[in-house]
Amino acid sequence: MFSETITPRFSDTDALGHINNTMIPVWFEGARNPIFKIFTPDLNLESWPLILAKIEVNFEAQIYYGADIEIRTYISRIGGSSFDVYQELWQNSQRVSSGKAVMVNFDYKTQRSAKISDQIRAKLNQHLFTEA
Amino acid sequence: MFSETITPRFSDTDALGHINNTMIPVWFEGARNPIFKIFTPDLNLESWPLILAKIEVNFEAQIYYGADIEIRTYISRIGGSSFDVYQELWQNSQRVSSGKAVMVNFDYKTQRSAKISDQIRAKLNQHLFTEA
Amino acid sequence: MFSETITPRFSDTDALGHINNTMIPVWFEGARNPIFKIFTPDLNLESWPLILAKIEVNFEAQIYYGADIEIRTYISRIGGSSFDVYQELWQNSQRVSSGKAVMVNFDYKTQRSAKISDQIRAKLNQHLFTEA
Amino acid sequence: MFSETITPRFSDTDALGHINNTMIPVWFEGARNPIFKIFTPDLNLESWPLILAKIEVNFEAQIYYGADIEIRTYISRIGGSSFDVYQELWQNSQRVSSGKAVMVNFDYKTQRSAKISDQIRAKLNQHLFTEA
């Protein structure tokens, strides 16, 4: 599991007084940084090896400005060339959102998906989500 | 079907040279404006009657800066108090993204979901998605 | 003068019930699209000829969700290699924000500023701001 | 001086491969959180005592994805009811951006600016910017 703690910004709120839902995909993508580094340790933009195929986000409770948020990031599936990232937002000891991102290992040169190497697969395996 | 056409902004791009995925939920929420108006014609923030429960977004093709985008918005399910919004992004005559938002008719005063009225149900029905 | 009309999105609001100030630089950059096209008609990202040196934004009145906004874009100064873009936001017949962006004609290959050509200078001149 | 360190997100980049300029006002506003707390320690949105009158941002060097950024926040002027916040972005031991925000102590009930109290003035004074 990767854990990142962020402080919500005033600009993240909306007129209902809570964090706007469109910020959650931004936070989740930000918290996938360590997963990007597994594929490209120097975050090299010239040979970026990943594509995002799909996201799902569940909004489970209102998220507030004024209290820190922990983003927990897990791997929940590892396929041949794709894998799923499962993420949760926690605020004030409550899970307030969860989501999944389907990512594909991609070779921009050939414009085709690429098999996940055994080395990377082993690293992803260290962050597997296992329901309690 | 509701249709909105937008011009991508330079700030919507990312380092891979395309529109960043986190903009799509922003565009989709923006294009749900006419649906918000069905529930609150004057977009009254004091008695906002909707909650977003879940979103799903499929990234189907790269989206480019420099060409307009049409957002098509449909209703794909109407339940007792909740309903689904189905949306598509089209650029250069190609569908580049699609997504679903699960929305709940919500009474902020009682903090409970509320039955969708027959009047609103009839209006939603005018925008039903029917697969060809 | 270039004019663009946009519809504020719910995600543009903040907890005070108005449009958040951080959206204005986003809208202003979006409305500079036609100026980008004067320098690179096909918006070619591979040879982007502009750098942003400075922005100033004045927040003159509260900006509301639920009413369209007109963005007016002018050229207010043309120097040797740099120029100023002056912009205004109008909502409900009131000017609600104004701003300036200092842009530099830039050659990414040599990493140096470049003289604005006479041809481009003539086009910029067609959009000069002249105070009433 | 207040110091905050952030990790740029992939979604903060743009097609030129660097951090997009529109993110800087977002980061600067986020880093003004501790100043908001001087005025409203519990960040109470119901009686928010501040208005943003103006921002200026200087873009001094390209800002990169993949390296942390420190945001330094100072008070650079204290007037009767308004004050200036001066901020800097540092990345890889280089100052890459600086900016100023003019803020006004505001009473939303009377819709008028309000004198900054001596107590708050003393706290602001602890964070005064003094050029070396």
Q: What does the alpha-carbon distance between residue A127 and residue A74 come to, in Å, rounded to a whole number?
A: 5
Q: Is D18 in Cβ contact with B18 (below 8 Å)? A: no
In the prediction, which pLDDT does B132 show?
A: 59
Asked if C107 contacts C114 with a C-beta cutoff of 8 angstroms, the reply is yes
| Residue among C28, C50, C54, C25 nearest C37 (CA) | C50
Q: What does the alpha-carbon distance between residue A90 and residue A98 come to, in Å, rounded to a whole number?
A: 9
In the prediction, which pLDDT does B82 show?
A: 98
In the prediction, which pLDDT does C60 show?
A: 98
Each residue's pLDDT tens digit, D101-117: 999 999 988 889 999 99
To the nearest 10°, report the CA torsion of C27, C31, C32, C35: 180
How would you write chain B as a 3-class SS string?
CEEEEECCCHHHECCCCCECCCHHHHHHHHHCHHHHHHHCCCCCHHHCCEEEEEEEEEECCCCCCCCCEEEEEEEEEECCCEEEEEEEEEECCEEEEEEEEEEEEEECCCCEECCCCHHHHHHHHCCECCCC
In the prediction, which pLDDT does A49 show?
A: 94
Checking if the pLDDT of A131 tops 90, the result is no
| Residue among A27, A4, A2 nearest A124 (CA) | A2
Question: Per DSSP, what are the bridge partners of residue B50?
Answer: B105
Asked if C105 contacts C61 with a C-beta cutoff of 8 angstroms, the reply is no
Is C22 at the interface with chain A, CB within 8 A?
yes
Per cent of chain A over pLDDT 90 is 90
| Residue among D84, D65, D60 nearest D74 (CA) | D84
Instruction: Say how many Å lie between the first and final Cα of chain C, rounded.
Output: 14
Q: What does the alpha-carbon distance between residue C22 and residue A71 come to, in Å, rounded to a whole number?
A: 24
Q: Is B13 in Cβ contact with D14 (below 8 Å)? A: yes
Nearest to C30 among B9, B32, B45 (CB): B9
Q: What is the pTM of this model?
A: 0.96
| Residue among B127, B122, B103, B129 nearest B48 (CA) | B103
| Residue among A69, A123, A126, A71 nearest A99 (CA) | A71
D13 chain-A contacts, CB cut-off 8 A: 45
Is C15 at the interface with chain A, CB within 8 A?
yes
Is B58 at the interface with chain A, CB within 8 A?
yes
Show the low-confidence residues of chain C (pLDDT under 50): none
Residue D50 three-state SS: strand
Nearest to C14 among A14, A21, A22 (CB): A14
Each residue's pLDDT tens digit, A95-107: 999 999 999 999 9
Nearest to D22 among B11, B21, B22 (CB): B11
Q: Is C10 in Cβ contact with A15 (below 8 Å)? A: yes
pLDDT band at D61 (very low <50, low <70, confident <90, very high): very high
Is A57 at the interface with chain C, CB within 8 A?
no
Chain C nearest-CA distance from D115, in A, is 20
Neighbours of chain D (3+ CB pairs under 8 A): A, B, C
Residue A96 three-state SS: strand
Q: How far is CA D132 from CA A15, C130, D129, in A?
A: 42, 41, 9
pLDDT band at A114 (very low <50, low <70, confident <90, very high): very high
pLDDT band at B18 (very low <50, low <70, confident <90, very high): very high
